[in-house]
């Protein structure tokens, strides 16, 4: 069951309306590395997970991502300002906000492409799902870094800082979950066939990698590996 | 903020696996009249609503729709059964469940089309948004009626009954909300121009409607109109 | 059978080219609340309707919406002007018009997203279809209100006024059609189950709605209810 | 302006319901080579065409394609039969028809993918547009040939025959239109640069084509070339 | 098998970064008339072609189109410049490049719509496929003409010139291939039914075309017809 | 530059046509974990990569994925058999193959959804891109495992074995590349803020993970860690 709490996970403010930046921030509302995508990916994966701890972890993070979505949408709403206006000096505000949604945030990326579940990866295999989530959190962090660089509004920067750090926390948690299951599912029986040891040099050049004894992806406990 | 409760809104069981029906039930997971769509539509509309009661109503129903989504997904998961198998007697189970998701439910409609935010209507105008929601609840009811007719599994029928009745409850609530705001927004200044009173007979035939004094959509309190 | 008449339903002129506004007006050519969507929705619904009057009504309005589409496209074409040019002072004209269509209007929304039938609702149930149409006409009106506010060109404003009023006329007609069928289809047997009377307070707060004796949506004759 | 005539362009009957074939025939309702696509492509192209004869030709054929769409939809509707039923012996009828549309035809291809304007080609250049239309009519003919082979119902075959022959007629007309304009637009100044005369053998093998004096596509009057 | 060669098919340079033009050039990377679309169309068609010469031709051109894609992407990358920045004077650079891809080229059209295989036409019929390819090459030429007109950068113009001329060369080759197969497949048995000889005047007006003895599309050898 | 070699990367045969399985195998032609997606993702990422070794690695693997795509398509083509036929005993063959493509393979997933670049992840950050690729290879392996279990055809199984092992080899290579760059880009300055160390228990329950000193994802050299 899902419940909604009237409080935002973290307060959201903006110094002043900035419709141009609102367009860009929409990316994290309805884009491929956005909060809605993250939440839906983890919820969808959870539907068939049997391990109760990992299922719980996925749903904790999913609920948090939906709460991030609410924060991002709140910021977009404030940045969109008060008045519809595409006639004025505004260089390239969000067209849909001005003609379709009356400045309400909208489930699209920064270019206005509607959110699609084609962004969501679900495999029914824990190793593959958790690696997908680690990669997804890393990509989300990168997008927040890009967004951070392009705004001076201190309140917006603070929100982005918070969200960026939370993605790091999720990344850590998914990595710890991966350690727990890393000898199971698609990670077993890895590299037994010699085809898994070949290198095909189809773009001949300077490559110096070799396929040494292929092994499944695995992480060591970060608390220990860096001692 | 969103939170997840480990209990389902209402318990979900199935008498036996039925992958063929699982395909059909997916319609309400990721289809145009499905639970995800409903939840996202009401949440998205809520982002710019100022009236605290109506905003609260939208979020109550949105959280419930996400909880319905979880119920539908749980049922799909059980109906998908235990083993991937498209070789056997199974006439036309869900292809994606067998090749992509390892029988996990997936955010698509019954034909495998990924969920898209193109289904979601947000206008920034309360009258238009609430009418959209009334229509959406009515369509969701119709889909559940179709689904109800095509399954004998008593547990699945019970779940569909529950969901169908909840859509009726939401419909009633949206209608009551409409009464509250029906003289505002896009419902004001209706039909003042004579172009709003013309009938263009562009498919000449038996039509007997006439555009009598056009007035904005409105509902009377159902408690009184039927006394 | 469809026929085309060389005359526009209503003459379309513009005071001067305005590529920036052409982008915005495209919303009503190929967007979710646009004229193509409306026409295709009513035609698609008509294919299985048995009631001859209502079928006739749907096709009258569908043919008119296609005629509106032609008017909107004609205006977009005039607003796009004479010369491809994204180098100049033009702040954010339609990219596709300049690189793909040679300034011809295109079946996308204002952001360039191609029209998709995912916007079109067809249920096979008259009550649900007509409520969908009432909501659709209300949303189309809202978009025209937004568009009206953002242009000073008197000719364009006149066209938008005409189209906005026609949506009101259609809305009235669909409401009258709803009165005719409101005791049938998905509107029957409403609220018989007690689940239809519950309120789930999943976003606890100030809501004061209660689900009083749930009844199906219905409209009274607007000629009489307001006497 | 568009008008609708209550008569179909040509009467449509079926010997008996055949939901399995209805799925396949949907291809020509909402698929990439379907009637809706054809009609919308020619209408969209017409919006900026200045030559009155060619504009008239495009609109004649567009109106006919919409009329074909109505015929195809009428056949799909009859083939869908009377009762929703995915439980029975029916091997793989249209899922959406059974769970979403109550057996009403739907603007998708045979696999349930919603129609998208991504299928529609508009370039603002008459030579390119007419070549696109010639190719589109040829593809539509091929699809009708495939559909013809897979049905024994004499009435359906008769309808397909009619539609297939009409695509040939349109093809002829577009070819005649091409002859008229073939020295204009993107067909002028062809092959002046030597890069237009090179052959890059990037998949080395048996190819024996050479780029002889490149010239723009052109058709001779078919009445004379074959004398 | 596909191989990659570190050399570009033709060197690509730009005079200076121009993010605004990069947006427009993206059209030919991931748009409906773009290089990726062309390459994938010809490869997809080749999978079932039996004629070794024509199969070879399709794969030669497909490999070249992928090589063009690499050239276009290289130019987009250079035009995007060095620094993410949507705050400055830049009027309407590519939003996704600034928030999602860190200025890397992206498989979308100029408006940010992701590439879709809905653009790709494959029919299993050589006549229809080759006509599709002739039309596709003509449309690609038109887009390059539009792009050429809107840039002063001499290096970019030179690249566009090269690509435009190559599309002409491909067009010539496809036309020669068509001559070889023009009495086969969907081009046989053309116009035998009298329905193929009718003209339906559904948009009554000035049209002067008549359907003279319908014949399948065909080209004469361009070396001889113009002697 | 891309080149095509007439030889397949590895010979492809099938014991007998099996249109039902062809549908499922299409998943790896045009689906989200398919070969086209993989190839386009690595090519797209390569466009802005400066490190010559990593760029070379990406292009080697990309060229191989395109070569896998050709193998999968060849198998689909053979499995589709010789004759269009949806009337017979065939329970649920690919509808599009029978009505649209004349049995040619098509760039869709198993359900007929056209390939979309929405599947492709490009971030401009090497750490995020390589993690995306590791996850993508893991998911591709899982899909091949599902496909392997559902076919008895020894030749097809052999092809799947080959492809599955190659995904393991790529996974290993991407992991080695990650080791090389793991202290750069989005992996630097990780977890410095205390928000990166919090756990939000939004689905209260049995979770026992804690966010211990958050550190960026990293792999140790598999040759040494398992000694």
d(CA B99, CA B78): 17
Quick check: F193 and F217 in contact, CB under 8 A? no
Binning pLDDT at 50, 70 and 90, where does residue C87 land?
Answer: low
Average pLDDT over residues D36-43: 98
| Beta-carbon separation of E151 and C4 below 8 A | no
Q: Is the pLDDT confidence value at D89 over 60?
A: no
Binning pLDDT at 50, 70 and 90, where does residue E225 land?
Answer: very low
Chain A contacts of F141, Cβ < 8 Å? 128, 186
Among chain E residues, CA nearest to C4: E203
Topology adopted by domain B19-186: Ferritin (1.20.1260)
- pLDDT tens per residue, range B208-220: 788 877 888 888 6
Q: Is the pLDDT confidence value at D6 over 90?
A: yes
d(CA A109, CA A27): 4
- pLDDT tens per residue, range C161-190: 999 999 999 999 999 999 999 999 999 988
Compute the mean pLDDT over every residue in chain E, rounded to the nearest whole number. 91
pTM of the model: 0.96
pLDDT at position D87:
60
ipTM confidence score:
0.94
- pLDDT tens per residue, range F163-202: 999 999 999 999 999 999 989 999 998 888 899 989 999 9
Chain D contacts of C40, Cβ < 8 Å? 36, 107
| Beta-carbon separation of F127 and A119 below 8 A | no
| Beta-carbon separation of B169 and C197 below 8 A | yes
- Which B-chain residues 9-38 have CB contacts (< 8 A) with chain A? 9, 30, 36
| Beta-carbon separation of C1 and E202 below 8 A | yes
E8 shares contact with chain A (CB less than 8 Å): no
What is the distance in angstroms between the CA of the first residue and the CA of the last residue of chain E?
42
Distance from CA of D33 to the nearest CA of F (A): 8
- Is B208 exposed, middle or buried (CB count within 10 Å of its CB: 0-12, 13-18, 19+)? exposed
Binning pLDDT at 50, 70 and 90, where does residue D221 land?
Answer: low
- D2 or B209, which is more confident: D2
pLDDT at position F76:
97
- Which C-chain residues 69-108 have CB contacts (< 8 A) with chain D? 70, 73-74, 76-77, 100-108
Q: Is the pLDDT confidence value at F115 over 50?
A: yes
Most E-contacting residue of F41, F44, F77, F162 (CB-CB within 10 A), to test interface: F44
Distance from CA of F46 to the nearest CA of E (A): 9
A173 shares contact with chain F (CB less than 8 Å): yes
CB–CB contacts below 8 A, A to E: 67
Distance from CA of A1 to the nearest CA of C (A): 9
Most C-contacting residue of B56, B168, B199, B204 (CB-CB within 10 A), to test interface: B168
Among chain A residues, CA nearest to E112: A111
Q: How far is CA D128 from the centre of its chain?
A: 16
d(CA F57, CA D33): 40
Residue in A196, A205, A223 closest to F169 by CB: A196
Rg (CA), chain E: 21
Binning pLDDT at 50, 70 and 90, where does residue E214 land?
Answer: confident
Distance from CA of A115 to the nearest CA of E (A): 12
pLDDT at position E160:
98
Phi (first) and psi of residue A5, to 5 degrees: -110, 130
Chains C and E touch (3+ CB pairs under 8 A): yes
Neighbours of chain A (3+ CB pairs under 8 A): B, C, E, F
d(CA E40, CA E54): 16
pLDDT at position D132:
98
- pLDDT tens per residue, range D113-136: 999 999 999 999 999 999 999 999
Binning pLDDT at 50, 70 and 90, where does residue C209 land?
Answer: confident
Closest CA to C61 of B110, B202, D216: B202
Count of all residues that appear for chain F in the document = 227
Distance from CA of A222 to the nearest CA of B (A): 29
Binning pLDDT at 50, 70 and 90, where does residue D226 land?
Answer: very low
- How many C-alpha atoms does B34 have within 13 Å on its Cβ side? 29
Residue in F143, F152, F205 closest to B100 by CB: F143
DSSP B60: H
Binning pLDDT at 50, 70 and 90, where does residue E227 land?
Answer: very low
Residue in D62, D116, D125 closest to C114 by CB: D116
- pLDDT tens per residue, range F52-84: 999 999 999 999 999 999 999 999 999 999 877
Most A-contacting residue of E90, E99, E106, E112 (CB-CB within 10 A), to test interface: E99
- C227 or E31, which is more confident: E31
Among chain B residues, CA nearest to F204: B5
E68 shares contact with chain D (CB less than 8 Å): no
Average pLDDT over residues E67-78: 98
Quick check: D206 and F6 in contact, CB under 8 A? no
Low-confidence stretches of chain A (pLDDT < 50) are: 89-91, 222-227
- D225 or D2, which is more confident: D2
Chain D contacts of C45, Cβ < 8 Å? 104
- pLDDT tens per residue, range B105-115: 999 999 999 99
The residues spanned by each domain of chain E are 19-186
Written as six digits, the tokens of A59 are 């749903």
- pLDDT tens per residue, range D174-209: 999 999 998 999 999 888 889 998 999 999 987 778
Neighbours of chain E (3+ CB pairs under 8 A): A, C, D, F
- Is B89 exposed, middle or buried (CB count within 10 Å of its CB: 0-12, 13-18, 19+)? exposed
d(CA C134, CA C175): 7
| Beta-carbon separation of B139 and C118 below 8 A | no
F209 shares contact with chain A (CB less than 8 Å): yes
| Beta-carbon separation of B168 and C196 below 8 A | yes
Binning pLDDT at 50, 70 and 90, where does residue D214 land?
Answer: confident
| Beta-carbon separation of F202 and B114 below 8 A | no
Chain F contacts of E102, Cβ < 8 Å? 48, 123-125
Query: What distances in angstroms separate CA F168 from CA A196, B77, C195, F27, F164, one per listed residue?
Result: 6, 29, 52, 19, 7
Chain C contacts of B116, Cβ < 8 Å? 116, 118
| Beta-carbon separation of D113 and B113 below 8 A | yes
D157 shares contact with chain E (CB less than 8 Å): no
Map chain D to HEC letters.
Answer: CEEECCCCCCCCCCCCCCHHHHHHHCHHHHCCCCHHHHHHHHHHHHCCCCCHHHHHHHHHHHHHHHHHHHHHHHHHHHHHCCCCCCCCCCCCCCHHHHHCCCCCCCCECCCCCECEHHHCCCCCCHHHHHHHHHHHHHHHHHHHHHHHHCCCCHHHHHHHHHHHHHHHHHHHHHHHHHHHHCCCHHHCCCCCCHHHHCCCCCCCCCCCCCCCCCCCCCCCCHHHHCC
- F224 or F179, which is more confident: F179
Q: Is the pLDDT confidence value at B118 over 90?
A: yes
Q: Is the pLDDT confidence value at E21 over 60?
A: yes
pLDDT at position A185:
94
Average pLDDT over residues F209-218: 82
d(CA F3, CA E225): 34
Among chain C residues, CA nearest to E151: C87
């Amino acid at each position: 069951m899902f419940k909604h709490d009237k409080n935002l996970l973290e307060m959201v403010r903006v110094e002043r309306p900035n419709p141009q930046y609102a367009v860009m921030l929409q990316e994290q509302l309805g884009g491929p590395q956005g909060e809605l995508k993250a939440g839906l990916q983890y919820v969808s994966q959870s539907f068939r997970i049997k391990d109760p701890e990992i299922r719980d972890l996925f749903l904790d993070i999913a609920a948090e991502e939906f709460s991030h979505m609410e924060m991002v949408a709140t910021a977009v709403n404030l940045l969109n300002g008060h008045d519809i206006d595409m006639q004025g000096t505004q260089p390239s505000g969000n067209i849909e906000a001005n003609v379709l949604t009356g400045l309400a945030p909208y489930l699209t990326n920064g270019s206005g492409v509607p959110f699609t579940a084609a962004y969501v990866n679900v495999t029914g295999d824990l190793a593959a799902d958790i690696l997908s989530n680690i990669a997804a959190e890393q990509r989300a962090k990168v997008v927040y870094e890009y967004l951070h660089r392009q705004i001076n509004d201190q309140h917006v920067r603070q929100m982005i800082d918070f969200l960026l750090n939370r993605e790091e926390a999720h990344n850590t948690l998914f990595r710890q979950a991966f350690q727990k299951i890393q000898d199971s599912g698609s990670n077993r029986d890895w590299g037994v066939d010699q085809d898994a040891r070949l290198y095909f040099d189809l773009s001949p050049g300077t490559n110096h990698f070799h396929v040494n004894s292929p092994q499944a992806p695995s992480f060591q406990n970060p608390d220990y590996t860096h001692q």
